[in-house]
Amino acid sequence: MFFPLALEEGGACYNSALPMATISPFRALRYAPERVAASRVVTQPYDKISPELQERYYEASPYNLVRIILGKHLPGDGKGENVYTRAAASFQSWRQTGVLCPDRDPSLYSYSQTFTVPGTGAHAERRGFIGLGRIEEYSAGVVFRHEQTLAKPKADRLDLLRATRAHFGQIFMLYSGSGEVDTLLESPNAPDIEVTDEYSVLHRVWRVSDPTVIQQVQEYMQGQKLIIADGHHRYETALAYRNERRAAAANPAPAPYDSVMMTFVDMNRPGLLILPTHRIVFGLPSFSAVQFQTDACKFFNVEEVDAGIDAVRVTSILQEAGRSGTALLAVAAGRAFLMHTPKEKGTNRFAGFSLRQQALDVVQLHKCLLEGVLKISEDAVRDQQNVSYCRETEDGLAQVRSGQAQIALLMNPVRMEQVRDIAFAGEVLPQKSTDFYPKLLSGLTIYALD
């Protein structure tokens, strides 16, 4: 397996002439356990909080982090008082009253997530660690993205960062190792934080303040290239904020805003799970399963399968067919089709896409099925006019069979090596191509810039 890193076996040495990742410990702000239970105040990432979940968080505690990272907009909001000023006021008050307290020593934070793999009974654990990572331009060749971002979410996060001057959730970063860092950070002690979230994921955090261990982790991570798994918008927001602060500084010396809070996960270790995000089509003026089959044959070899197929069988068929390349499964009312062996790779339909990108099932689905067969434009897909997304296969099938949707387009998840190769090549995947599971909780540790 090739990685464009200058690491020897086991990551013991690195080429210092290459750009390097700079990792730092920090004195995290954490909820005082004697004041409030972690289970009542930590949250899912802001972009995964539905209106219903937001309401539940508000009811859970007056100190729930949702009041800062995704507060409610109120009638009469303006420049003087709004969701951002209320977030800043809450943050300041919680610090002053001891709800949030800084750790005594600069530390790294070992982070374990134990979970059941969705759709199976299998249990897994993903390990990583929370620390500060120096913010780098993509052009520096240290941090790599795999996804495009949108302006509106970044503007919202930038306004929140300006108001609070703090980072409340970690950016999910991947690096290539062999478990050395996880071993260094292992602790026989009870975790400092232990909480089970609304999806039955057990999150545990251990504070590691031993300077020798921290130095060993820093030295190991220097040779690493980092891939953003989740948090592209927040990373680019932190970058924009850093540039803004640097431009305003009379003497732009190194400052807290040069770094952002990250969780670093070894991409080669067990427990790194990517789930598929299926496409559900609805609201087309006319739709015919017969016509869909005819037109799909222009792009793929198409085989009809049992129309009553269930979620378990869908997964089995896709996994088996996917071993030899692209495999997509379309389920409409009364009909179901397996599509494989693309016929149009390298054609003008894929202009601007590398062969790496064309090999992605999600690219084949978008360019051939959504655009080529169903005539849903790229802009309409982006605006979700006729396309919605779902993680659970069972949910997609139910929407079709209840008449809510016209057809469910189901696929295998993107493979980690595909994400890695595309990111390191400076390319991107379509939006909603990767769903790293489980999500990192916000509020476990907080990085205040002042």
Q: What is the pLDDT of residues 417-449, one digit of tens each?
A: 999 999 999 999 988 899 999 999 999 999 999
* pLDDT (mean) for 191-200: 97
The span from the CA of 332 to the CA of 352, in Å, is: 31
User: Do 86 and 21 share a structural domain?
Assistant: yes
pLDDT over 60 (residue 2): no
Domain that holds residue 245: 9-273+437-448
Mean pLDDT of the chain: 92
In a domain, 424, yes or no: no
What pLDDT, on a 0 to 100 scale, did the predictor assign at position 386?
95
Q: Enter the pTM of the model.
A: 0.90
Cα 366 to the center of its chain, rounded Å: 21
Q: Residues near 333 by Cβ (< 8 Å), separated by ≥ 6? A: 289, 400, 401, 403, 406
pLDDT over 50 (residue 15): no
> Do residues 54 and 165 touch, judged by C-beta distance below 8 A?
no
Q: What is the pLDDT of residues 241-261, one digit of tens each?
A: 999 999 998 887 899 999 999
Instruction: Please calculate the CA angle 434-58-441 and round it to the nearest 5 degrees.
Output: 35
* pLDDT (mean) for 86-94: 98
User: Do 392 and 265 share a structural domain?
Assistant: no
How many domains does the structure of the chain reveal? Answer: 2
Alpha helix positions (H), 210-369: 211-221, 232-248, 289-296, 311-322, 355-358, 361-364
Q: How confident is the model at residue 14 (pLDDT cuts 50, 70, 90)?
A: very low
Q: What is the pLDDT of residues 321-351, one digit of tens each?
A: 999 999 999 999 999 999 999 987 667 889 8
Q: What is the pLDDT of residues 32-57, one digit of tens each?
A: 999 999 999 999 999 999 999 999 99
In a domain, 306, yes or no: yes
User: Do 291 and 269 share a structural domain?
Assistant: no
DSSP one-letter code for 319: H
DSSP reduced 3-state for 225: coil
In a domain, 417, yes or no: no
User: Do 287 and 268 share a structural domain?
Assistant: no
User: Do 308 and 282 share a structural domain?
Assistant: yes
* pLDDT (mean) for 18-23: 84
In a domain, 355, yes or no: yes
Q: The tokens 């070894």 sit on which residue?
A: 266
User: Do 348 and 258 share a structural domain?
Assistant: no
In a domain, 148, yes or no: yes
The span from the CA of 344 to the CA of 296, in Å, is: 11
What pLDDT, on a 0 to 100 scale, did the predictor assign at position 5?
34
Q: Residues near 133 by Cβ (< 8 Å), separated by ≥ 6? A: 21, 22, 23, 24, 143, 171, 173, 226, 259, 260, 261, 262, 264
What pLDDT, on a 0 to 100 scale, did the predictor assign at position 71?
97
User: Do 217 and 149 share a structural domain?
Assistant: yes
In a domain, 420, yes or no: no
> Looking at residue 404, which CATH number applies to its domain?
3.30.1760
* Residue (of 299, 306, 450, 407) closest to 361 by Cα position: 299
Pairing of β 193-196 and β 335-340: unpaired
pLDDT over 80 (residue 316): yes
In a domain, 13, yes or no: yes
DSSP one-letter code for 442: B
User: Do 136 and 82 share a structural domain?
Assistant: yes
Q: Residues near 339 by Cβ (< 8 Å), separated by ≥ 6? A: 296, 299, 300, 301, 302, 326, 327, 328, 329, 330, 369
The span from the CA of 333 to the CA of 115, in Å, is: 34
Q: What is the pLDDT of residues 197-231, one digit of tens each?
A: 999 999 999 999 999 999 999 999 998 999 999 99
